Amino acid sequence: MVYRTRRRSGRMPIRVLVAMDGSEIAKAALEYALDVHADADITVLHVVGQPTAMMGEAVSLAFEDDIETAAEDLAADVFDEARDIAAAHDAEISTEVGWGTPAKEIVSEAEGFDTVVIGSHSGSLADRLFVGNVAEKVFRHSPTPVTVVR
């Protein structure tokens, strides 16, 4: 196994990517990131899945003229909650909307960050059976270290 390290010069804070889907465990992941990485630049990523029969709310995106705006609208509640959590920690966060398969999108975004923080599971039992364990896929394929919060 190869471990990659990044040397940090100067006072540049580390960059932390927190994947959030609105679940309680995702909120716990953000709380963890804000506590452990208090001086980091934290970005919350919400991934809107590709429209399929099993992806529920994301199906409506297939009928939108402006998919990016519609995806941002779907992410708005998650980002509002994330900002409230950050405000309680006297911190600011950045937000990004991803589009596609959650695990693939998170792994793709991870390249530009020093670490990823993700909740151990989310969604309903049916979501986990059909979609698979996103945290496990991110953990296995991320190019940067991953912290899985339970």
CATH architecture of 15-149: 3-Layer(aba) Sandwich (3.40)
One DSSP character per residue, the chain reads ---------TTPPPEEEEE--SSHHHHHHHHHHHHHTTTSEEEEEEEEPPP-TTSGGGGGGGG-S-HHHHHHHHHHHHHHHHHHHHHHTT---EEEEEES-HHHHHHHHHTTSSEEEEES--S-HHHHHHH--HHHHHHHH-SS-EEEE-
Q: pLDDT tens digit string along 100-144? A: 889 999 999 999 999 999 998 755 665 555 445 889 899 999 999
Indicate the pTM of the whole model. 0.81
- Which of 31, 39, 34, 18 lies closest to 98 in space, CA to CA? 18
Domain boundaries, the chain: 15-149
Contact (CB, 8 A) for 26 and 79: no
CA distance 77 to 27: 12
| CB-CB contact of 31 with 37 (8 Å) | no
Across-strand partners of 149? 119
Per-residue pLDDT of the chain (150 residues), as tens digits, is 444 444 455 668 999 999 999 889 999 999 999 999 999 999 999 998 755 444 555 555 555 567 677 778 889 999 999 999 999 999 999 999 998 889 999 999 999 999 999 998 755 665 555 445 889 899 999 999 999 998
